[in-house]
C-alpha cells in the first residue's frame, strides 16, 4: 500500500473511533483535540515507513530532526544534539518491515505519546500505527 492508502485507512479508523466516541462518550474532547488527533493519525499511520529513507515520513522526520539538532546546537544542549543525531543515524540502519514495523516499536512510540500527552493520544497513535502494520501491509 502506498502512503496515501495508509493515511486514508488511518483516517477511516479515526473517523470510526470519533463516531463511537460520539455515540458512547469515553473521552471528553474539544475541537482542537480532534484536530491534533487527526494530525497524530496521519503521522502514526505513516511512521512504520521511517525504515525507508525515500518515504514521505522519513524525509519529514529527517528535516524535523535536522532543525532540532540545529536548535539544540545553538543553545549548546549537547545531550539533545547527540540524541537527535542518534535518531537520524538509527533510521539509516533499519531494515524495511523490520523493527519499525513491529508491535514492540508500536507500543513504545504510542506508549511514550500516552505518557507525555494523554491516554487518548496514545490510543489513537496505537490504532493508526497498527492500521499500517496489520492492515495496510497485508
Q: Give the interface with Zn ion as residue ranges (CB under 5 A).
A: 48-49, 137
**Those residues with Cβ within 8 angstroms of residue 44's Cβ, 6 or more apart along the chain or in another chain:** 10, 109, 110, 124, 125, 126, 128, 129, 132
To Zn ion, the closest distance from the beta carbon of 137 in angstroms equals 5
To Zn ion, the closest distance from the beta carbon of 1 in angstroms equals 8
Q: What is the DSSP letter of 1?
A: -
To Zn ion, the closest distance from the beta carbon of 96 in angstroms equals 8
Which lies closer to Zn ion via its Cβ, residue 106 or residue 120? 106
CA atoms within 13 A on the CB side of 130: 12
Which lies closer to Zn ion via its Cβ, residue 46 or residue 69? 46
Which lies closer to Zn ion via its Cβ, residue 48 or residue 122? 48
The x, y and z cell numbers of residue 133, run together, are 502494520
To Zn ion, the closest distance from the beta carbon of 43 in angstroms equals 14
CA 68 to chain centre: 17
Which lies closer to Zn ion via its Cβ, residue 49 or residue 84? 49
Q: What is the largest CA-CA distance in the chain?
A: 50
Amino acid at each position: 500500500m502506498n502512503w496515501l492508502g495508509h493515511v486514508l485507512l488511518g483516517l477511516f479508523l479515526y473517523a470510526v473511533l470519533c463516531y463511537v466516541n460520539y455515540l458512547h462518550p469515553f473521552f471528553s474532547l474539544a475541537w482542537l483535540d480532534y484536530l491534533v488527533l487527526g494530525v497524530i493519525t496521519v503521522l502514526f499511520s505513516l511512521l512504520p515507513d521511517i525504515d525507508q529513507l525515500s518515504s514521505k515520513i522519513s524525509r519529514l522526520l529527517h528535516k524535523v530532526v535536522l532543525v532540532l539538532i540545529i536548535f539544540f546546537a545553538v543553545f549548546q544542549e549537547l545531550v539533545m544534539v547527540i540524541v537527535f543525531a542518534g535518531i537520524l543515524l538509527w533510521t539509516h540502519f533499519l531494515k524495511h518491515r523490520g523493527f519499525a514495523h513491529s508491535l514492540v516499536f508500536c507500543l513504545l512510540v504510542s506508549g511514550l505519546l500516552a505518557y507525555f500527552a494523554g491516554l487518548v493520544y496514545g490510543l489513537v497513535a496505537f490504532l493508526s500505527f497498527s492500521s499500517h502494520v496489520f492492515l495496510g501491509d497485508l
